[in-house]
Amino acid sequence: MAVNCAVDCKDGCVLGNDCPNLKYTAEASKFIADTSLDDLLAMADGAVRRKMLERTSQPPKWVLPED
């Protein structure tokens, strides 16, 4: 039985201890516990700024209606 985690596990893991992604959960929990809130906010701010710069550096894309 194949499980699509993005769809099937929205309300929690359906595989429990058999989940192949448990190691990622432990790594993410450790990262969050070891990283200060100020550092997390700085990372998020940097990501938002990069995304905004990426959008503003490209010319606008015009969508013309079909005839």
pLDDT of residue 26: 85
Cα dihedral value 40, 34, 5, 41, nearest 10: -10
* Distance, C-alpha 50 to centroid of its chain: 15
Domain boundaries, the chain: 21-57
Q: What is the pLDDT along the chain (67 residues), one digit of tens a residue?
A: 688 888 998 888 898 888 888 888 889 999 999 999 999 999 999 999 999 999 888 888 888 888 6
pLDDT of residue 22: 85
For 8, the 3-state DSSP assignment is helix
pTM: 0.57
pLDDT of residue 67: 66
